[in-house]
Amino acid sequence: MINKNSTSFSAPSFASYFTQEVKPVTPVQMTIADIAKAIDNFDYYYEASDSDSVWSNGERSKAQIVKELRELTPEQLQEVKALITIDIDAVCRYFAEFFTNLPEVTPEVVAEPSRASKVMTLAWELIRAEIASNLSEGLTLAWKKVKAMEQLRKGIAYITFIKADGTERKAIGTLRQGNYSYESKNSGKKKNPSIIPFWDLEKKAFRACRIERLIEVAA
């Protein structure tokens, strides 16, 4: 007799085994560091072995490494190459197609501060050095120096300024590379933010004037 109050369990039908969704196995992708480590640990002398298992393992490892390397960009190959610790000539015996004639890595270009940023930075330096008494004065002097330095770096400039004794002086100066030859002594002295250095083409030596005494810098 069947007890109607009992709990019954129905077994899955035979056909259901064939209709269940089979989820694909996602292959584990090696990282840059993993690939470099695999190359370091690769048996570079497996071909010289008499053992079939050593030969098979070597071929299998080589095929796996080649498969991973083919997925990489030139930049990623450069990263792998940088992480490899064994002799690159040994590596190239088996993986030369990936590590020879790689394009040079372009160094990251550091953006130069904008003109306005240079002026603001210099203005605060002038205030801290007590050359300017407030931000307005600091900005005025900073703009004056930045424009003067730009003109000197472009080529030859005609400079007019007041000397320490109160007399006016005119000079022909430059800061353009190639217009003068000078070996820096690297004294390590802290630079005065108010100073405008220049190569005096008549005196054949470096001279300087203070920004607050500058009258004009003309092309």
Which of 46, 65, 99 corresponds to the end of one domain?
Answer: 99
Tell whether the model's pLDDT for residue 185 goes beyond 50.
yes
What backbone torsions phi and psi does residue 5 show, to the nearest 5 degrees? -85, -10
| C-alpha 27 chain-centroid distance | 33
Is residue 141 pLDDT above 60, yes or no?
yes
Answer yes or no: are the C-beta atoms of 179 and 155 closer than 8 Å: yes
Residues 150 and 210 in one domain: yes
In DSSP terms, 206 is beta-bridged to 199
Question: What is the gyration radius of the CA atoms in the chain, in angstroms?
Answer: 36
Is the model's pLDDT at 182 over the cut of 70?
no
- Please state, rounded to an integer, the average pLDDT across all residues of the chain: 82
Q: What is the pLDDT of residue 183?
A: 62
1 within domain boundaries? no
Q: Would you tell me how many other CB atoms lie within 10 Å of the CB of residue 166?
A: 7
Q: Is residue 83 domain-shared with residue 131, that is, in the same domain?
A: no
How far, in Å, CA of 24 to CA of 8, rounded?
34
91, 123: one domain: no
Structural domain for 41, as ranges: 28-99
Q: Where are the alpha helices (DSSP H) in 135-191?
A: 135-154
Whether 13 maps to a domain, the answer reads no
Q: Is 53 helix (H, G, I), strand (E, B) or coil?
A: helix
> Does a structural domain hold residue 106?
no
Q: Verify that 144 and 82 share a domain, yes or no.
A: no
Establish if 22 belongs to a structural domain: no
- Say yes or no: 50 and 76 in one domain: yes
Asked which of 49, 65, 99 is the last residue of a domain, the reply is: 99
Over residues 17-34, the pLDDT tens digits come to: 445 554 554 445 688 889
Scanning the structure block, which residue is given the tokens 């109050």? 5
- Residue 169 is predicted with a pLDDT of 95
Same structural domain, 84 and 142: no
DSSP symbol at 142: H
Query: What is the distance between the alpha carbons of residues 72 and 32, in angstroms, rounded to a whole number?
Result: 9
Residue 19 lies in a domain: no
Percent with pLDDT over 70 in the chain: 79
Give the residue, 99 or 184, on which the prediction is more confident: 99
Q: Is residue 165 part of a domain?
A: yes
- Give the least confident one: 58-72, 117-131, 163-177, 187-201: 187-201
Q: Which residues on adjacent β-strands are paired with residue 200?
A: 173, 205
Number of structural domains (the chain) is 2
Question: CA 50 to CA 136: how far, in whole Å?
Answer: 84
| Global confidence as pTM | 0.48
DSSP-assigned letters across all residues of 11-44: PPPTTHHHHSPPPPPPPPPPPHHHHHHHHHHS-T
CA distance 41 to 86: 9
